[in-house]
Structures are given as C-alpha cells and as structure tokens.
Amino acid sequence: MPTAATTAPLPVIGYVRVSTDKQDIGPEVQVAELHAAAARRGWVLEIRREDAASAKSLKGRPVLARVLDDLKMGRAHALAVSKLDRLSRSVADFAGMLETAGQQQWALICLDLDVDTTTVTGAAMAHVTVTFAEMERRRIGERTRAALTKISPEARDRMRRGGRPVNMPESTANRIVELRASGLTLQGVCDLLNTEGVPTARGGQWRPATVSKTLERLQRA
C-alpha cells in the first residue's frame, strides 16, 4: 500500500558575512550562534558564507544575492543572521528587506535584536528597530550640522574643493565630524572608518591620534 508523500521542511538560510576588518566578529562565532539557535528552534539550517564583503549596502555581494533569489523562489523559509550588521548597516536597506520579506512571504531573523518575523512580537520588534534607527540617524544629522557650524567658512570651502589643510576628500572630513558628533570615542570613529574601508590621506588604517589631529586641523582652519 503506497504511503503518502511527505514534504521536507524548507531550510532557514544562515548568512555569515566575513569582512577584511580584524575587529569584526569572526565566522566561527557567527556559525556557532546560528547553529545554537537552530538547535533551540528546530530549524533545518543551511549556512551560506560571504567573504571580504562590505555591509555599507547590499550591492556587490553575490552570495547574498543568491540567498535572496532562493527566498524569492520559495526554496527557503527564512534568512537568519547572528547580528544585524552582518546583513547591513544601512537603515534603508534593512527596512527595504523587511518589506520584501513580507511581500514574498519569507521570514527575517536577527538573533542579536531578537527580531524574528515568524512571530508577532518579533515582527513588531523589527519595525521598532527600524523606527529608532531612523530617529538616531536624524539626530546624528542634527549633531553633525551643529558641529560643522563650528568650522570656519574658509575651512568648509577648502573641504568642498578637496584642498588642504585637511588633505582628504570632503566626504571623509564630513564623515569624521559626523561620527564624532554622534558621541563615538576616537577609537570608535577609527573602528567604523576602518570597517567602512575609508582610507587615510596616506592610504593606511585610522588611529585615534589621526582622527584627533584631523579634527584639530578642521577646528583651527
């Protein structure tokens, strides 16, 4: 007598992103956290790893592109990351991915934020996270504008023209002022600039002394 066909459960794809920044969380830690969550929640877990990828945007990440295609085509049930910044540091990208997940009927799970759109509470947490992240982005913008008013018109003009004494693109100078105005320590500013791949004037790694001297030059100019 034939038995009824059974359908295997769709996998949860655990996305692991590995950048070139030594300060980043390592792949072994990410994989361990995802496997621990899978054991607790009964997931059928499939790990996908992306090497040397930036989280500034979703572009230029072929592994993630294939993951999203599998989710769209219904070959997986959910996308899980150990920490949100493994997926994206862009509020707009995260919000867009939440919307896409809802439209295509797959789930998004971020273990560090307790975001799990398979549950009502987790879905609500996802939208709260986006709301507060957007609010913080606007507050940083306000602090940045306030900080820039302390820089002389001559210095701002040189920044716009890419000239000295800051010896760096206007976008880099503005980014340093923005990060410092957000309340980050000098080391925190360095860590984020290095993670984002922003080079110093000599193409090296950012250090607290370099950031401090840059801010001092901007104030004096």
Task: Set out the domains of the chain in order of their start, with CATH numbers.
Answer: 12-124 (3.40.50.1390), 150-220 (no CATH)
Integer angstrom CA distances of residue 75 from 72, 109, 201? 8, 17, 46
Confidence of residue 66 (pLDDT cuts 50, 70, 90): very high
Of all residues in the chain, the percent with pLDDT exceeding 70 is 70
State residue 213's pLDDT score. Answer: 82
| b/e sequence 137-158, b meaning 16+ C-beta within 10 Å | eeebeebbeebbeebeeebbeb
Identify which of 48, 46, 35 has the alpha carbon closest to the alpha carbon of residue 77.
46
State residue 102's pLDDT score. Answer: 86
User: Rounded mean pLDDT of 132-139?
Assistant: 64
Tell me the HSE value of 96 on the side-chain side, using a 13 A CA sphere: 10
Tell if the pTM clears 0.85, that is, is over it.
Answer: no
Q: Which of 19, 82, 88, 182 is catalytic?
A: 19
Q: Could you tell me which residues come within 8 angstroms of residue 126 by beta carbon, excluding any fewer than 6 positions away? A: 98, 108, 110, 113, 115, 117
The model's pLDDT over 184-199, given as tens digits with 9 standing for 90+, comes to: 788 878 878 877 778 7
Residue 189: both structure tokens together: 């500013």
Confidence of residue 16 (pLDDT cuts 50, 70, 90): very high
Better-predicted residue by pLDDT, 79 or 219: 79
The model's pLDDT over 18-38, given as tens digits with 9 standing for 90+, comes to: 876 555 678 899 999 999 999
**pLDDT > 70? residue 206:** yes
Strands in 12-18's sheet, in edge-to-edge order, are: 45-51, 12-18, 78-81, 107-110, 115-116
Amino acid at 20: T
Confidence of residue 137 (pLDDT cuts 50, 70, 90): low
The model's pLDDT over 156-176, given as tens digits with 9 standing for 90+, comes to: 555 554 444 445 777 788 888
The reply to whether 19 belongs to the active site is: yes
